[in-house]
A and B are shown apart, each in its own frame.
Chain A
Amino acid sequence: MPNNETLIIAPEAEQVERAVRAWLNTYSEKPARMVDVEYLGDGTGLTISTVQAAYKTRQFILGGYQAQYQFSLLYQTVPTTANERLEMDEILNNYASWIEATKPELPAKCSFIKCTRNTNAALLGRDADGSEVHQIMFTLLYEVNV
């Protein structure tokens, strides 16, 4: 768990989160109209959720640093068959493949290194109304002033 000394300053962390959301919203095969933040609503929805606020992983002697931002992509819908449940995971896994093959426009001074999935898509939870949330988790690595 990063301490206060390694946490990224709030403005930068917020800018990175905004950049990630904007990036994910450029995917042409999203299963929902847009990717929201920390909100799914009712019915079908897509959102990103911060797993851990961005923090420094390496601090360099020339003053720059490397940082990582962990987030999950959640997809909610109301599947009625096993096939539809499997499709939810397939949709997220395809989304992840696109994420790993493209890159975001990060804030100035930030250089993108890579974004890789930490897990494959899987069921996160199910509500009483039958809606399910599946999620897939990512780690985005970037550098600042390097």
Chain B
Amino acid sequence: MADLTFNTQGGQTVARELLIAYLNTGTASTPVWSPLGKRVEDSSTEFDWDSETKRDILGATYGTLKKPVISQTFDPCELDGDDAAQVKLWNLAVKDQDAQALAAQDVLIVHFYAGESATPFAERYPSSMIEITGLGGEGGGTVGMPITVTYGGTRATGTASKAQDGTITFTA
């Protein structure tokens, strides 16, 4: 894939809502992409490149990196019946405790700021691990269900489009 440019205004920073992760709450063949992170105020992907460095006998330093392990936490993720992603994860984790299914979730990251505005860059991780790390909260508050996603599987890159009604379509 050729290098992409940002489709946002030059000289301005990119708004946080232009980077969104989606969970497939449909099927592999007919995906329904539901956003992750409703009511989450702060969440970032973390890249672990497994870096190593060495210095040779000439005094030069060299480094090596591996393909990154990318993970992201969404906290507190208050439960909401309208949040399809949360409802699916609650059923898998709390009701069914289906560890195998939770380790093989289909997740899409759309970079709305990169590439064409109508069809921005997107990357699909069809076998991502999603851990539910808690369930509860403080008295008088709401029930939160923080999650940690480790993006995995055979990564596919492509573009995404967003319809008027918000439906996301990924094209590899």
Interface residues of B in 107-164 (CB under 8 A from A): none
Is B32 among interface residues, defined by CB-CB distance under 8 A? no
On chain B, the residues within 8 Å of A61 by CB distance are 16-17, 20, 37, 40-43
Interface string of A4-44 (1 = CB under 8 A from B): 00000000000000000000000000000000000000000
Dominant secondary structure of chain B at its interface with chain A: loop
Interface residues of B in 28-56 (CB under 8 A from A): 35, 37-43
On chain A, the residues within 8 Å of B42 by CB distance are 61
- Min distance, Cβ A143 to any Cβ of chain B, angstroms: 8
Q: Are A59 and B20 within 8 A (Cβ)?
A: no
Select A58's contact among B20, B37, B41, B43, beta carbons within 8 Å: B41
Is A86 among interface residues, defined by CB-CB distance under 8 A? no
Please give me the residue from chain B that is nearest to A111 by CB atom: B82
The contact size tier of chain A is under 10
C-alpha spacing A60/B38, complex, angstroms: 7
C-alpha spacing A97/B35, complex, angstroms: 37
Is A108 among interface residues, defined by CB-CB distance under 8 A? no
Q: Are B17 and A63 within 8 A (Cβ)?
A: yes
The contact size tier of chain B is 10 to 19
C-alpha spacing A64/B40, complex, angstroms: 10
On chain B, the residues within 8 Å of A59 by CB distance are 41
Q: Are B38 and A62 within 8 A (Cβ)?
A: yes
On chain A, the residues within 8 Å of B41 by CB distance are 58-61
Is A124 among interface residues, defined by CB-CB distance under 8 A? no
C-alpha spacing A60/B83, complex, angstroms: 14
Please give me the residue from chain B that is nearest to A145 by CB atom: B17
- Min distance, Cβ B8 to any Cβ of chain A, angstroms: 14
- Min distance, Cβ B21 to any Cβ of chain A, angstroms: 9
On chain B, the residues within 8 Å of A64 by CB distance are 39
- Min distance, Cβ B34 to any Cβ of chain A, angstroms: 11
Interface string of A51-69 (1 = CB under 8 A from B): 0000000111111101000
- Min distance, Cβ B3 to any Cβ of chain A, angstroms: 26
- Min distance, Cβ A59 to any Cβ of chain B, angstroms: 6
Interface residues of B in 3-31 (CB under 8 A from A): 15-17, 20
16 more A-B contacts (CB under 8 A) besides A60-B41, A61-B16?
A58-B39, A58-B41, A60-B37, A60-B38, A61-B17, A61-B37, A61-B41, A61-B43, A62-B20, A62-B35, A62-B37, A62-B38, A62-B40, A63-B17, A64-B39, A66-B39
B binding-site residues for A, Cβ under 8 Å: 15-17, 20, 35, 37-43
21 contacts between A and B (CB under 8 A): A58-B39, A58-B41, A60-B37, A60-B38, A60-B39, A60-B40, A60-B41, A61-B17, A61-B37, A61-B40, A61-B42, A62-B17, A62-B20, A62-B35, A62-B38, A62-B40, A63-B15, A63-B17, A66-B39, A146-B38, A146-B39
By Cβ-Cβ distance, the 9 closest A-B pairs, closest first, are A63-B17, A61-B37, A61-B40, A61-B16, A61-B43, A60-B39, A62-B35, A58-B41, A62-B37
